[in-house]
Amino acid sequence: MLRDFYIFSNGRMKRKDNTFYFVNEEEKKKSLPVEQINNLYVFGQVDLNTTLLTFLSQHQIQVHFFNYYGFYSGSFMSRESNLSGFTLVQQSAHYLDKDKRLMLAKSFVSAATFHMVRTLKGYKQITKEALDPIMLLIPQIFEANSISQLMGTEGMIRQHYYSLFKYILPSEFAFNKRSKQPPHDEINALISFGNSLCYTTVLSEIYKTQLNPTVSYLHEPSSKRFSLSLDIAEIFKPLIVDTLIFSLINKKMINLKHFETIDEMVLLNEQGRRKFLQAWDEKIGQTVMHRRLKRKVSYRYFIRLECYKLIKHVIGDEMYKPLRAWW
């Protein structure tokens, strides 16, 4: 069974025959059969060579790199094996057509908002009155005439959403507003770390389909990022990342000792990252009986299914309907 592996130590990644090896600074060696690796997440300072990269590419293994502070740095993506010129042309055409692009962008924001409200409703301390500011903004999603207007509405919704975290979290985890670069408190550190994992997970799933990760609709395509990953991740961040954060804190699995402050940045320390990653693996591996497929589907595979639905939409097979969790 394929799974993700995480490297925290400094050392060297190498290939020997058909096996992946990691050798740490103490010359301790760990081997992994390549058939078991889905993605590699590298948090330590590592050396590698082109022989290894060629080997990983042959086996469609993606490598995601994080810097010393735990911030996402970039990814090594293997050569695309599911190329489709027709899909790429249609995907691009939907970006170039204002109405088609706006329709998809609205779908991402409406699904994200649905999951924000769903998450909040899971806590009895969140009253109907507390949700009213978000509910009143929902019609503006569908009334937006431009991407910038839509993004403005999304920003206001998310601001109200974050303002309600204080009713869910214990008092020692104060959270006043979202701060990304750098995170100024523990909740911002958790959100940033979790969102990076969501982004890289979405990116890995996109690479298993015919979609091009640089052609996006809500976020502006950029030469420096895989912006379609940001689009699709919007749907899953409140559903997976935020619920995981609430669970870890309220069950006291993560507490203040799992953070450190460096130059006014609040970050998860290594122990905190390990705990979060273990919980992340368990979360995206959880399964739900799919109403249409009539079989159990993991949270990770729901991301893949979202990619497939987007492909069907751009090639004209089936109108895109974003995931709205029913369970």
Binding site for Mn(2+): residue ranges?
154, 219, 234
Residue 308: C-alpha distances to residues 24, 148, 209 (Å): 39, 27, 7
* Segment holding 312, helix H or strand E: helix 299-314
CA distances from 166 to 62, 174, 191 (A): 37, 7, 14
Query: Which is nearest to 192 in space by CA: 181, 205, 176, 177?
Result: 181
> Can you say which residues are annotated as belonging to the binding site?
154, 219, 234
Cα–Cα distance for residue pair 76/94, rounded to 1 Å: 27
User: Which residues lie closer than 8 Å to 145 by C-beta, 6 or more apart?
Assistant: 102
What is each CA distance from 283 to 60, 66, 255, in whole angstroms? Answer: 23, 21, 19
Instruction: Check if the beta carbon of residue 241 is closer than 8 Å to that of residue 178.
Output: no
- For 155, the token pair is 């920003």
Q: Is the peptide bond before 221 cis (omega within 30 degrees of 0)?
A: no
What is the Cα–Cα distance from 204 to 63, expressed in whole angstroms? 9
